[in-house]
Each structure stands twice: as structure tokens, then as C-alpha cells.
Structure 1
């Protein structure tokens, strides 16, 4: 099935939404293009690499957003996040394979 989601751009034109959303980039924690902060250690480098390679497909992201922003109206997100994780256990587990 084709992706029918749309996203807005600055000029007001509507463009197709990406099939996958990618996080990260080549930036240090300060947001500069100069690379990682000199205070980062090995664990932080591993996390930074993992996050820079993180991708989530649009339907999965939409279901998470819906669980947190549409279906839930409270301030404590522990319960809806735990419920979403259980409903999406296979995808969540695939993040660390």
C-alpha cells in the first residue's frame, strides 16, 4: 500500500511524507558540525552511533505519536509508553539485535 501521509513545507506546498524517519547526523552534542564533544566517553560514542543510525517507519512512528498525543491526556507517560511497547514488542526488540 502506498504511503498517503503528507507533510507541509515552508512554501505551503504539500509533499509526500518519508517512508522512514531517520535521526542523528554528523553533529556533536553542542549541535556544531565539528564532531563529538571531547568530554564524551566510549559509552556515549556507542549511543551516539546508535542514534545516528536510528530509523523508524512512518506507521510505527504514527502509532507511537497517537498513543502519546492523541489517545492519552495525562502527564505521566510511563503507562502509555509501556502499553505501546507491549503492543509493538517485536519492533522494539529488533532495535537491539
Structure 2
């Protein structure tokens, strides 16, 4: 059986357990985009002309291991990468 911390086996996606807004989520890719993290945080994703979404991360599998994501950017994750996603309405 392929454990979350074992190397990937061809044909079997690797499983990562990450934390999004305090909730454990399971994903099957080692890269997550801004849009992917937002969709894990919100259902439905808040929209509107004045909605601003902020995504920060820590314990990523890259240097720097912490930072922020912006629209169109991605981060390389590992087990227990933590994301904080907030939506504010500037109205």
C-alpha cells in the first residue's frame, strides 16, 4: 500500500494531507495553485467586485517554505502544509 510519506508509484497518485483554514484536506498533487487552495477553503467561492481573497502558506516543500499566493501562482506542498485563506469585502 502506498503511504502518504512514501515515494510515488507510477500509476498511483500520491496522497498529501494538508491543512486549510484549520481543516484537514486530502489532495493528490504536489503543486497547488491559488485557485485550487481557494476552492478547498470555500464552497462556494465568494465573488463580487469588492471581494479580496488572501492565501498564505507555511511548511511548504520549497524555499521559502512560507509566504503568500496570488492569482495565477502555485506552491509545492508536502504533508502538513498549512494554508490560511481569508475573503474580505471592501464595500
TM-score normalised by the chain length of structure 1: 0.24
By percentage of residues, which structure has more helix?
A: 1
By percentage of residues, which structure has more strand?
A: 2
Q: Which has the higher contact order (CA 8 A, sep 6+)?
A: 2
Larger gyration radius, structure 1 or structure 2: 1
